[in-house]
Structures are given as structure tokens and as C-alpha cells.
Structure 1
Amino acid sequence: MKQLIKYLSAFFLALTLLAAVGCASTQKQEGTGEYFDDSVITSKVKAAILNEPGLSSAEINVETFKGVVQLSGFVSSRADINKAVAVARGVAGVKSVKNDMRLK
């Protein structure tokens, strides 16, 4: 009986370690916690852009990977691009902003 408990304990320990390693992040893939953090950052940036007068949030796409926010889409003026980048940089958790927005 003690031998069975010993084997079961070792099995569950190995299973736990495998699960922890499987959730770890790599250079090109996010871990589970990072994915949720990036989702929160994306939502906050979208909300900040929506609340900014003069910016059309429907035309600005926001994606986040490991804290780096990428803005893309088409806007009316260079001032709108600069304003959207500044708004995104002001959101907590944003490490940097990549600007891929284009003028209409």
C-alpha cells in the first residue's frame, strides 16, 4: 500500500510539473497569464481611444503581445495618429507602442 502511494505521489508531481512547463511562455508564444494581461491591456487601450474625442475607435485596431501594443487601421490625419499613439502610451501596462496606422 505504501508503495502505491509513493508511485501515485510521484505521478502527480510529474503531472504538475508538466502542466507548469506547458503554461510557460517562449519568445514567440505567451503563457496563460501573459495572454490575460495582454487582453486587459488591449481592452484598456480600446476604451481609452473610444473615450478620446475626435478619434474613431472603429477604424483603429489594437493588438497586444507581451505588453507591446500595435495600432493599425486608417485615420483621417497625422494628428489622429499622434493622438492615438499618445493615448495608448498612457495606459498602464503598455511597454511600447508600434504604429502601423495609415492615412486615408
Structure 2
Amino acid sequence: MPRKPDVNTARDELMAEFQALVADTEKLLQSSAGLAGEEAEHLRDQLRTGLSKARERIDSAQGLLRDQSKAAVDATEDYLGDHPWQAVGVAAGVGFLLGLLVGRR
């Protein structure tokens, strides 16, 4: 199960990146309200750079998550192919337990 920390780490890094991007964007928008000309252009360039970096990080995290998800799906398909009756038994057991829990309400 070494994949879970990788997925959680990627998700946490992505969320931190989004929060930083939002904070930077808000700060730039507030400070650029009274600016014109070269200063405004400089702030817009900073904003474009930040958005570009965020997009690259998102693409990287998306690729990592896609690869890890594909590995999990492949492992599940292999297991189900090798042990179909065990999978049916587990699914029936989980369904039975869920039925008991729902029936209690």
C-alpha cells in the first residue's frame, strides 16, 4: 500500500499550491487597482507566471494520480481475474453487512 501516501502528498501539495495561487492573485488584484502603465504590466506578468506554474503543477499532479489510479485498477483486475469467487464472496458479505446496517434504521 505505498501508493496512498503518494496520492495524499500529491493532493496536499496541489491544495497548498491552489491556496497560494488564490492568495497571490487576490494580493495582486488589490495592489493593482490604482496602478497603470508599466507597473500594471509588471503585475500582470507576475500573475501570468504564477498561473503558468500552477498549471504545470496541476498537469504534473494529474499525471501522477492517473498513473497511480491505473496501477490500482490493473492490480484490482488482476486479483479479480485470479480469484473471482473470493471477490464474489467479499462483495456478498459487504452487501449483507450494509443491508443489516440499513435495516437497523
Category of TM-score, reference length = shorter chain: 0.3 to 0.5
Considering Cα pairs closer than 8 Å and 6+ residues apart, tell me whether 1 or 2 has the greater RCO: 2
Structure with the higher fraction of residues in helix conformation:
2
Structure with the higher fraction of residues in strand conformation:
1
TM-score between both structures, scaled by the size of structure 1: 0.33
Larger Cα Rg: Structure 1 or Structure 2?
Answer: 2
TM-score between both structures, scaled by the size of structure 2: 0.33
